[in-house]
Amino acid sequence: MNTENVRILNRIVEINISNVKYADIELCGNTCFVGTNNFGKTSLQRAILFFYSANSRGLGIAQSQKSFEEHYFRYENSYLVYEIATEEKNFFVMVYRHNKLVFRFVDAPYDADFFFNANDEAMKIKEIISGLEKRGIYISNQIDTFERYRNIIFGTETDKQLAKFHLLKGNEKYQNIPKSITNVFLSSKNSIDSRFIKDFIANSLTTENSSIRLEQVERQLRQFNEKYTDIETFIKKETQQLIELIDKKYDQVHLLKGSQMELADKLGSSLRFAESQNEAIREASKKKEEELEILTEDHEKLISEIDNKQGNVREEIGYYDKSIRDANKRLRDYKDKNIEEAVEKNAEREKLQVEQNIARREYESLTSNVASIELKYASLLEQLRNDKMAYINTINAKTSEIFNHYNELQLLQKNEFNKRESELKTKREEAFSEVNAEVTAKQIEFNELKSDEKVIRNTRFYEAEIKNIETELAELRAISYKNKSERAIKQNMVQTLQREWEAIEAKLKTSLSNEVNRTNGEIIKIKNEIKDIESKLNVQHDAFYGFLEKNVKDWHHTIGKVVNEKLLFRTDINPELKEETLKTLYGVSLNLESVDVVSKSIEEYQFEKNERLALIRDLEEALNAFQTSNNEEKMLAADKYGKQLGEFKEDVKVLSYSLDLADKREKKLMIELEDWQMKAGGEVEQSLSGNRQRLNIVEEELTLLNKRKNNLVDDFNRQLDQLKVYSEERLQDLKSRQETEISELEVEKKNQVKEFESKEEEISKEKETNFKSKGVDSKQLKQVEMRLKEVQEALKEIDQYAQLVSDYLKDKRDIFDKLPDFIQKKEEYVKSNNELTAQAEETTRKFNLKRMELNKQKRAFDEELIEFNNGVNFYSNNFRETPVYAKYSEIIERAEAKRTNYNIMDLCTQLLKNDSHFNEEYGAFQRYVNDFSGRFRLDNHFNFIIRNDATQAEYERFAQNLRSFINENKIELSIAETATQIGLVTDSIATKVKELSGQKDKIQHIITLIAEDFKKAEFEESKLIEFIKIKIEESDNKVYKLLKRIEEFREEHGLIYNEGLFNTDFATGTKREISGRAVKLLEQLRSAIKEQEQEEIRLQDLFELKFNIKEGMNETGWTHKIDSIGSTGTDILVKAIIYITLLHVFIKESSHRSSKDFKVHCIIDEVGQISAHYLRELLKFAKNRNIMMINGLPNKSGLESHYKYTYQFRKEDSGNVRIFPSIVTEVEA
């Protein structure tokens, strides 16, 4: 029963708790529990501790053990009841399990009847509540949380109904009390080490979360460091060079692959085409051969027909030619014989006949008178004349004989000549016709060759190929033109987007730097205010303020209303308390009720400081948020523009690539076209050269033939001429002999005739003389005679040519008059012959053309067939089994049958050749990729990783991703992220360090109080412990030191906005330097964390505690460890004293100044080894500090006599533990 009018945990009652059915233990004095191990001593002590801590997890129950709830509250009628004694009336609080542990406060002293029914069975909570309500006892609502319970017990509950159920009135730090009590209980088993004391103090001051988890820091640092290393590796010159190489090689590899695929496709198409066309081409070739045969047959038939016709015509021509020639010859002969004159004269024959008759009659009439004379003379004359005539006739006969003879000889000669001439001519004709036939044949050949040349010249060789290439070229150029313009547009877009992006980046950067400046300005301002407040708080102890706090009650309501704030914190005004002036102002009393208080309490200052700190935090958070959102915006922009830019750049690249390809293709096609054209030209030239050679030969042969012909002509002409000359000479000779003989005869005749004529003249003269004598006009007679003679002469002459004229006239009628007809006909036949020749030539030309065309077609088919077969054979023998086939088999096998410009063999060879080149290039590409990815960590954040057994596709994807990475400028994003990260990491470290080191002041304060308390301790009586001293020193924890340096760094440089993290465009010298230092510091911290292998930095790592204890003659000196002071008992004592001191200090610090009348328990288990003397000392030491001890003893040893209550534990057969009071009397304390 509490008799001291103080508040204290008076009693604890266990109902169905663990294996205790019921236990009612009084606690309002030092209490000890006696019992062997495992009887439930510690469980009971935990139950007591639970009253203070109300934290089922902080009771030192091992993880492997059942939880507090499980172990203690096994039944629904398990109750823990704590009765609290107060100044007036006791109340109790009961704990029970309603799913979780809950509390109810009951405004009445504990009474077992409240819980048990008539059968002594514990009731259920509902029954208990209704029982209490029936009794009219106040029972609180169910308190669900430990926090609320503690608020009530430690007097900070605002609910008036519950406010009275407090053990003590705690301040805002009241949590330290349950923590301290818990810590004493939990650390009581450990040896005494300053570390535990440190832990104790620190644990009492901090919450579970107020440590710096190094694992987390290390993780953040590692993440930052890894990213930093990745970026550093990326921006290295060597890496950049590798990127360029990869990009270039990828393009090459891609190009090669593309061309290989194209070739493979062409090969496939060619193969399919060859397979599908083989039979068709064979058929086509055969058909062409047949066509050729038919053509030749037709042609030969036609030519022979024309030849026949020409033979007939030639015969006709020969006939007419001969007729014309004969006629002409005869004409010439007639002409030579003066035929025209002869004919003319012949025409006068009849006229002359008439004239002769007239003259004859005239003569007869004249001579009629002298007929006899006349007759005599006439007969004489006649005789003479007859003689003369006979002579003339004889001579003439002789002449004519000679004439005829020679004429005959001449004729013979002429015939001979003609015969020889005609023989020669025939020979000549024969030779001529022979040569001419040859010439004609050659001429025909020549003409054929000429027309062939014309055909060749007009033939476009490889027309299809050239046309295909030309078409492809035209298409290619059109596409290239389109692509060029598209590329120009896209490049423009890229520039525009780049500019836009840069503008946005610049805007974001400016806004961020403005925000950073603004926030830093504000933070500096607030920091100055904080400094001001801190300076006030620091001096308040020694200032007027401290004096008032200590010495003047409620000064805030008096002096606080009138005093100047500055005055309050002056330390040089030496305030003194004078009773007489109390409640007056220099003796003047003022009614200050309506005056507002201007002074502020320490808490208010603290609050203001905290408020400003929070403001800074808010500002920093806002800045962080701004930075994050700025970054996000940046990222959004990067995402938006980067992606677009990337796409456009990729497009530009693709277009450039395709333009390059097109360019290359165009060049290739141009070369191919030139090749084809040259080939075509070559083909023409080749054909022409063959043709020309033949032409030249034929021409030469023709010349030779013409020469031969001319020689022949010359020869024959010469022979003819010789013949002619000989014949003419012979004729001339004959003629001259004829003429000589004739002239001789003529001379003879003339002479004889003259003789006859002179005789005749004589006779005539005689006659005339006779006539004259008879009167006949001899003159007239003579005239008539003369005329008659003339006529006779003329007739004679005419008669001479009569035969010739008659022949001529006959020939004229039969031949000469028909000559124009002959010529006409001959010309007609010649013309028709020419026509036939032309026809034959034309037919041959046409035939040759057609034959050539057919031959060409057939040759093309044959060549194609050979090429196909060779290609297919080459493919089967030299390509099908190679790995290149395996690589492109799908494309080859899937290709459509199509004619290509390439032959299979070339395609196979090219593919094989290219493949080895491709392999070389690909090897280099792989090497570069491996080298590049090998420069980065295995798990680099860019994901630049390639397996050694990666496929080609994976390598290519790698290069593509790398390209997009570059195009989208992702490195800038990464840099920005990493820069933000370093800011966040330093910021988070700084905040944590600040938070933690903010509590260092509290520690300093506590240590000061403890030191003071130690001083106050009275160890005089026993003299066993002379003194216990404690002091605080700076921590030598390397990690903490680095953390602190980072915090200072952060303080010095404000929020590190690390755009200068890398040597990029953003970087400025100062920023780089600061960033460099930050990075270095973080790296040092990381290695220190690794080295130190510490999980967290707690409050206790911030300082070092040192003790100096003197026990008897032993002084430990300033040391961390205090376990070697003396015996175990001494150690336990010292430890307990220190704990009690700590507890006392904490209780004092954490309870309201007004709340003084309360006592708490200090639970220290196992004090069995302490001597009775020491125990007494200890209990006294505790009592002086309003602390009741609860200790455990293994057995009764007399020590229990020093406690007010002693309880014994006994295990019953049922396994239940019974706790019962031992009957002892308190000796002291």
Partner 1 sequence: MTAEDFALPRQTHDIFAIMARGHFISSNGTKDNMSRLYDIINQEENFPRLQAYFNVIKYNIERGNNYFYFSRINEGNSLIEKKLETFERYIDVIDLFASMDNKITIGSRFRPAEIAEECNANVRLKQKLQKIPMYRSETMLNKVRDICDLMARDSYLELEDENTESYKVLDSYNYLMDVINAISIYEESTGTDSNSSGIIYN
Compute the distance between CA of residue 815 and CA of residue 962 in angstroms, rounded to an integer.
Answer: 113
Does 950 participate in binding partner 1 (rule CB under 8 A)? yes
N-terminal to C-terminal alpha carbon distance within the chain: 17
Q: Do the beta carbons of residue 214 and residue 1096 sit within 8 Å? A: yes
- Of 43, 188, 926, 1155, the one binding partner 1 (CB under 8 A) is 926
Q: Do the beta carbons of residue 124 and residue 97 sit within 8 Å? A: no
**What does the block give as tokens for 635?**
């990222």
Does 937 participate in binding partner 1 (rule CB under 8 A)? yes
* Residue 937 Cβ vs partner 1, minimum distance, rounded to whole Å: 6
147 closest CA partner among 206, 103, 196, 112: 103
Q: Give the gyration radius of the chain's Cα atoms.
A: 78
- Of 258, 521, 682, 934, the one binding partner 1 (CB under 8 A) is 934
* Residue 197 Cβ vs partner 1, minimum distance, rounded to whole Å: 39
What is residue 1097's three-state secondary structure?
A: strand
- Of 173, 679, 935, 1045, the one binding partner 1 (CB under 8 A) is 935
Phi first, then psi: give them for residue 1103, nearest 5 degrees: -150, 165
Q: By CB under 8 A, how many residues form the interface with partner 1? A: 21
Looking at beta carbons only, is 926 or 969 nearer to partner 1?
926
Q: Identify which range of 255-263, 504-512, 676-684, 946-954 contacts partner 1 by CB under 8 A.
A: 946-954
Q: Identify which range of 270-278, 613-621, 932-940, 1165-1173 contacts partner 1 by CB under 8 A.
A: 932-940
| Sequence-ordered list of residues with C-beta below 8 angstroms from that of 194, at least 6 positions apart, any chain | 1104, 1105, 1106, 1107, 1119, 1120, 1121, 1122
Does 964 participate in binding partner 1 (rule CB under 8 A)? no
Residue 348, Cβ neighbours under 10 Å: how many?
Answer: 13
Residue with token string 């009951």: 106
Does 930 participate in binding partner 1 (rule CB under 8 A)? yes
Q: How far is CA 416 from the centre of its chain?
A: 108
Does 247 participate in binding partner 1 (rule CB under 8 A)? no
**What does the block give as tokens for 138?**
């106040």
Q: Identify which range of 160-168, 258-266, 624-632, 940-948 contacts partner 1 by CB under 8 A.
A: 940-948
- Of 593, 596, 949, 1036, the one binding partner 1 (CB under 8 A) is 949
Q: Identify which range of 142-150, 442-450, 930-938, 1035-1043 contacts partner 1 by CB under 8 A.
A: 930-938
Q: How many CA atoms lie within 13 A of 1059 on its CB side?
A: 17
CA distance readout (Å), 541 to 530, 535, 556, 568, 607: 18, 11, 16, 11, 18
Does 947 participate in binding partner 1 (rule CB under 8 A)? yes
- Of 521, 923, 998, 1198, the one binding partner 1 (CB under 8 A) is 923
Alpha helices for 106-236 (secondary structure H): 125-134, 146-153, 160-163, 176-187, 194-205, 214-235
What is residue 988's three-state secondary structure?
A: helix
Compute the distance between CA of residue 78 and CA of residue 16 in angstroms, rounded to an integer.
Answer: 5
Compute the distance between CA of residue 872 and CA of residue 877 in angstroms, rounded to an integer.
Answer: 8
* Residue 1073 Cβ vs partner 1, minimum distance, rounded to whole Å: 17
Does 946 participate in binding partner 1 (rule CB under 8 A)? yes
Q: What is the DSSP string of 26-43?
A: E-SS-EEEE--TTSSHHH
Helix (H) or strand (E) holding 79: strand 79-85
Q: Identify which range of 477-485, 758-766, 942-950, 1089-1097 contacts partner 1 by CB under 8 A.
A: 942-950
Looking at beta carbons only, is 278 or 930 nearer to partner 1?
930
Q: Identify which range of 313-321, 599-607, 880-888, 947-955 contacts partner 1 by CB under 8 A.
A: 947-955
* Residue 236 Cβ vs partner 1, minimum distance, rounded to whole Å: 8
The contact mask relative to partner 1 for 226-245 (x = CB under 8 A, - = no) is: ---x---x----x-------
Strands 1103-1111 and 1025-1034: antiparallel
* Residue 192 Cβ vs partner 1, minimum distance, rounded to whole Å: 42
What is residue 13's three-state secondary structure?
A: strand
CA distance readout (Å), 130 to 133, 375, 607, 1066: 5, 231, 46, 76
* Residue 949 Cβ vs partner 1, minimum distance, rounded to whole Å: 5
Does 961 participate in binding partner 1 (rule CB under 8 A)? no
Q: Do the beta carbons of residue 171 and residue 603 sit within 8 Å? A: no
Does 154 participate in binding partner 1 (rule CB under 8 A)? no
Does 931 participate in binding partner 1 (rule CB under 8 A)? yes
Bridge partners (DSSP) of residue 1191 are: 32, 1164
**What does the block give as tokens for 981?**
């990260």
* Residue 260 Cβ vs partner 1, minimum distance, rounded to whole Å: 20
Looking at beta carbons only, is 703 or 919 nearer to partner 1?
919
Q: Identify which range of 174-182, 937-945, 994-1002, 1157-1165 contacts partner 1 by CB under 8 A.
A: 937-945
Q: Identify which range of 177-185, 706-714, 920-928, 1168-1176 contacts partner 1 by CB under 8 A.
A: 920-928
Bridge partners (DSSP) of residue 143 are: 103
- Of 43, 519, 540, 933, the one binding partner 1 (CB under 8 A) is 933
Looking at beta carbons only, is 210 or 930 nearer to partner 1?
930
Q: Identify which range of 412-420, 855-863, 891-899, 943-951 contacts partner 1 by CB under 8 A.
A: 943-951
Does 223 participate in binding partner 1 (rule CB under 8 A)? no
Q: Identify which range of 179-187, 264-272, 499-507, 928-936 contacts partner 1 by CB under 8 A.
A: 928-936
Does 991 participate in binding partner 1 (rule CB under 8 A)? no
Q: Exposed, middle or buried: residue 587 (CB in 10 Å: 0-12, 13-18, 19+)?
A: exposed
Does 1153 participate in binding partner 1 (rule CB under 8 A)? no
Does 978 participate in binding partner 1 (rule CB under 8 A)? no
Compute the distance between CA of residue 724 and CA of residue 729 in angstroms, rounded to an integer.
Answer: 8
Looking at beta carbons only, is 509 or 927 nearer to partner 1?
927
Does 938 participate in binding partner 1 (rule CB under 8 A)? yes
For residue 119, the 8-state DSSP code is: T
- Of 72, 406, 861, 932, the one binding partner 1 (CB under 8 A) is 932
Looking at beta carbons only, is 236 or 477 nearer to partner 1?
236
Compute the distance between CA of residue 35 and CA of residue 655 in angstroms, rounded to an integer.
Answer: 93
Looking at beta carbons only, is 450 or 935 nearer to partner 1?
935
| Sequence-ordered list of residues with C-beta below 8 angstroms from that of 739, at least 6 positions apart, any chain | none
Looking at beta carbons only, is 572 or 939 nearer to partner 1?
939
Q: Do the beta carbons of residue 476 and residue 634 sit within 8 Å? A: no
* Residue 883 Cβ vs partner 1, minimum distance, rounded to whole Å: 11
Binding site for partner 1 (CB under 8 A): 229, 233, 238, 923, 926-927, 929-935, 937-938, 945-950
